[in-house]
Chain A
């Protein structure tokens, strides 16, 4: 092979890498490697300035391949592919080396070991770049139709938005009725509008649109095909229906945390969850009453089922705001009511801070407890008592006799196992569906053409859920409205010289991505690129080693293996 011109960039990641990997030592070790013409370290490879510098190098030094050793390719593969493209370099001649998740962060205890590993990983990356070939994306037609799973506020809003952009929508709701959680809410923060009315309006709007087809008591049971052209099967009221859609949005929402018996007194009369309390406030005619008796005192215990040491370690976001909003409503119903908020931290972020201020003005009292000394709830002769050590008064022990204890319960993921299996969607540590990147690709999943929206992704309040569902809707629109999508060109390829058609590749391929063609006097296998997923399942099946997946060729993998082992510590 003729000589290559490879640029290598090693990222500090602002210390995330360079605190544990001697990046300068890595640079020195590889700068003399064959074909390397540029070897630099950079503070943040993903920054605009660093990308500009790489683009200048590509153009001025005529680089024909680059290696960026930074974070996991799950984060910035597309960032850098697009940078390469802008500089006129084929995006498939860029190689990402994972020095962060798979090196510096995994070996924070061993700088020397992590540095040696980095050198070897970068060398393997250079080996891969050296044999890289330009590839062109494969075009597929896209159906101007979308499937939305979940007919709550997120799914409804996305459906309307898509329909208005000219896209046909199939909206699936598991329950008999559309509207999810929000249809049961009365006054919601921050605008005091009723959830029921909001949902009514959205359902009306959705029904007005001819492009929206609603299926209730419906679930997705099968998915095949690729982005742009998924074949899905749904079951609704005992009937199975096959549909073709270009893209899918998952908006299946959340489940409420159910405290276990005895958790902060749960099970005692008068100990209720936030949603139960909200119902009581909503249904009150005049002053607040419980079991026919006037409610004089309410004690709220925050973070129930959230921010646990084990279990649900995350914050549920909406609960502080929802509780304070409800406390304001309760104060308005019964102006003399005494309300005690036993919290760990209050997160009334952004303009919700106004809720905190208003609740305080209306007489709410705040007490802060430590995770190590949670409040204790007991019942004596039918009277509830809460005991808490208040950090705001230097750990003073406070006893509150109260009519109600409200457990401020958070959100937990829905049990969606069947759906998750159909879609093969990855789930995060918190049990919710996982986006590719929380900031850069917040509604995309690793399954091309499948997006997540609303609280299926993690705790969100209704306006955050809608913001994400509109983001998902616009992602779907950009995909399907163009009429075509570009697929990864890293598909299988057959060497017709080696191939003696035996059919084993076709047998190994569930996508039927092989056809028999003439090559000179013989018959050989040829890959149908639009059908090929690039998994490589056919590669080990070929008895004459005639199949490679582009980018993962036999020679590429073998040279990477050799480079991982080459030389000393550099």
Chain B
């Protein structure tokens, strides 16, 4: 299941972060404003709300070559949806199913609420996730058995 890790020394996992315009993007901005470092292979796409992310986008990102996707969720700070935490969690759950069905390890998707001042938690998440993905190796189809029933 782990598979072999080729070129592990040079392997720099690429992480796609889905952030939100009003909340988590501000936390990520703050990390930069404070010159807190995290790997430069972390890329952010901002959307209005984390409950508007399609599971198919997450699969698309992994299929096209991202090694991990991180949802920087609005959590309870969401200005739009009171139940945003539950909704985003559901989306993450569906996306993980989708990853499994397509032969990808579901741990390549991670989600955490990142508030508008959560600079340090964000940076820590990135470092830890980067480390996890590094151990896991590059994403590849068939790394887990297709569990579609």
User: Chain A residues in contact with chain B, CB under 8 A?
Assistant: 72-74, 98, 100-110, 113-114, 116-117, 120-121, 124, 424, 426-429, 434, 446-447, 490, 510, 533-540, 545, 549, 552, 554, 557-558, 560-562, 564-565
Contact = CB atoms under 8 A, between A and B. Distances in A.
Closest 3 CB pairs of A and B: A536-B52, A113-B40, A535-B80
Contacts of A424: 77-79
A535 B35 contact: no
Nearest to B95: A540
A135 B62 CA distance: 31
Contacts of B87: 537
A102 B29 contact: yes
B13 to A, nearest CB: 13
A557 B116 CA distance: 23
Nearest to A429: B117
Contact of B16 (A426, A549, A564): A564
A537 B80 contact: yes
Interface string B85-128: 00100010010000000000000000000001100000000000
A289 B31 CA distance: 51
A428 B76 CA distance: 17
Given A74-B25, A561-B66, A565-B64, A540 B52 contact: yes
A546 to B, nearest CB: 12
Contacts of B44: 98, 102
B32 A106 contact: yes
Contacts of A109: 37
Nearest to A108: B35
Contact of A117 (B22, B40, B52, B80): B40
Interface residues of B, number: 51
Given A106-B35, A446-B22, A428 B48 contact: no
Contact of B54 (A101, A540, A560, A564): A540
Interface in B45-70: 45-49, 51-57, 60-61, 64-66
Given A72-B29, A101-B28, A552 B52 contact: yes
A109 B39 CA distance: 10
Contact of B45 (A113, A427, A533, A561): A561
Nearest to B36: A106
Contacts of B91: 540
Contact of A536 (B25, B31, B47): B47
Contacts of B35: 105-106, 108
Given A74-B25, A103-B40, A106-B35, 18 more contacts: A73-B21, A101-B29, A102-B28, A105-B33, A106-B36, A107-B40, A121-B43, A424-B79, A427-B117, A447-B79, A510-B81, A534-B48, A536-B51, A536-B53, A537-B51, A549-B48, A557-B45, A561-B45
A201 B31 CA distance: 46
A105 B48 contact: no
A32 to B, nearest CB: 21
Contacts of A74: 25-26, 29
Given A124-B45, A552-B47, A540 B55 contact: yes
A117 B16 CA distance: 12
B144 interface: no
Nearest to A421: B76
Contacts of A557: 45, 47, 54, 57
B32 A535 contact: no
Contacts of A434: 116
B41 interface: yes
Contacts of A105: 32-33, 35
A108 B53 CA distance: 31
A549 B62 CA distance: 22
Contact of A490 (B16, B28, B48): B48
A429 B25 contact: no
Interface string B10-22: 0000101000011
B40 A110 contact: yes
30 contacts: A72-B25, A73-B46, A101-B29, A101-B30, A101-B33, A105-B33, A105-B35, A106-B32, A106-B35, A107-B38, A107-B40, A424-B77, A424-B79, A426-B26, A490-B48, A510-B82, A533-B80, A536-B48, A536-B52, A537-B81, A537-B84, A539-B54, A540-B51, A540-B55, A540-B91, A545-B56, A552-B48, A558-B57, A561-B64, A565-B14
B94 to A, nearest CB: 8
Contacts of A427: 116-117
A540 B51 CA distance: 8
B32 A102 contact: yes
A162 to B, nearest CB: 25
B44 to A, nearest CB: 6
Given A535-B52, A557-B57, A98 B37 contact: no
Q: Which of B48, B53, B80, B87 has the most CB of A within 10 A?
A: B48
A561 B18 CA distance: 11
Q: Which of A101, A104, A434 has the most CB of B within 10 A?
A: A101
A408 to B, nearest CB: 28
Contacts of A116: 40
Contacts of A510: 80-82
Contacts of A545: 54, 56
Nearest to B83: A510
Contacts of A564: 14, 16, 43, 45, 66
Nearest to B27: A426
Nearest to A552: B47
A108 to B, nearest CB: 6
Given A72-B29, A74-B29, A565 B37 contact: no
